[in-house]
Amino acid sequence: MHLILLLIILAAFVFGPQWWAGYTLRRYGRDLERIPGTGAELARHLLDRFDMSEVAVEKTEGGDHYDPNDRAVRLSAGNHDGRSLTAVAVATHEVGHAIQHHRGESMLAARTRLVAVAAGAQRVGSLALLAIPVVALATRSPAAGLLLGLVALGGMLLGALVHLVTLPVEFDASFGKAMPILQEGYIQPEDEPAVRRILRAAALTYVAASLASLLNLGRWFTILRR
């Protein structure tokens, strides 16, 4: 019974943020007649307004994000072409990151470096997982497999931890930048509670994905034990 309860708590911890973020973004993803432009059009307007005409607005299949290297706000198809509260809020959130970059805010520079560390750690973890059966077969040593398993776990945990550390940057993009901008007349007052939920979900997206990746680690260990 205690084991089942522990598994339920663990599943809630891993899946909860991702489920909530995805649900919130989908919930407000319906186009509304009162929204005059698409997410891409709003992003372009705001970038020009804040003297960032050199920053591109692009449609992507890789998830909504701001790329500081290519100077581009990249939006998923629904947020790029949509006229929903989600499209408006997410586009402004990503413009918030562009504003952080434009102003040379140290938080974003630190986040960019840390995200690179997280990506590297997760790659190392994935490679360690793939290497476990090969090394175990070659060395006939359970200790070698255990060591690689610990490396894999450490890499995945580090990736999740890094995204947790960068949460202040995400919340600044949502509530230090995007929300004040949207309150200047870009959204109706009655839409503010929903937009706050969307911006909170946008800020938590990376952490939610990192936590969910830990479940993949558990699946790999299950497969490798067979």
Residues with catalytic roles: 94
CB atoms within 10 A of CB 226: 4
3-state SS track over the chain: CHHHHHHHHHHHHHHHHHHHHHHHHHHCCCCCCCCCCCHHHHHHHHHHHCCCCCCEEEECCCCCEEECCCCEEEECHHHHHCCCHHHHHHHHHHHHHHHHHHCCCHHHHHHHHHHHHHHHHHHHHHHHHHHHHHHHHHHCCHHHHHHHHHHHHHHHHHHHHHHHHCHHHHHHHHHHHHHHHHCCCCCCHHHHHHHHHHHHHHHHHHHHHHHHHHHHHHHHHHHHHC
Report the sign of the C-alpha dihedral through residues 53, 56, 57, 62, in that order: negative
Q: For residue 159, what are its two tokens?
A: 């990736």
